[in-house]
Structure 1
Amino acid sequence: MDLIEKYLIKAISPGNVVHLFKFSSPEASNAIKLHQKCVEFFMKCLKETISIYAVESLGETFLASMVLKSLHANFTDTNTYY
């Protein structure tokens, strides 16, 4: 399984990340490394505003959590309060 995960991690793209994410989920094949790399790829795409094929199929809850994580990761406290 490690060889397959390494191969698929190198192949992650905006066109296949949704399929790889679903394939690697704990409910499907439990490919933990691949699953984590897919999440990291989603975050990268959010930051760089890269479109992801079939992302809507992941559901609103997952997508909302990715957006919140992305916003949290970009937040820096400048000690400026309004």
Structure 2
Amino acid sequence: MQKLRIDQNIKPLSEVRKGMATYIKRIHKTKSPLIITQKSKGVAVLIGVQEFEAMQEKIKFLSDIQLSLSQLEQGEGINHNDAKDILLERISR
């Protein structure tokens, strides 16, 4: 996702409504989000599907890391050599 540019990436809802197709094309081309305001306050963010999916993947990946770290702290992990032995045994079957 690209860096936000205040002059281009924050627009009032009334303006977005009038030019929705143009904004969607810009978002698709630049990969940059559009912050939509209403009464001078941010109310929504419009992003491309690819950027949304990438964000979801990152969230899942970070959640998996957090779960793994939590499991290790609770003593639920196995050491490298044991993991290697388990994998080698599975491969040889």
Structures share fold, TM-score greater than 0.5: no
Higher-Rg structure is: 2
Q: Which one has more relative contact order, counting CA pairs under 8 Å at least 6 apart?
A: 1
TM-score, scaled to structure 2: 0.28
TM-score, scaled to structure 1: 0.31
Q: Which has the higher strand share?
A: 2
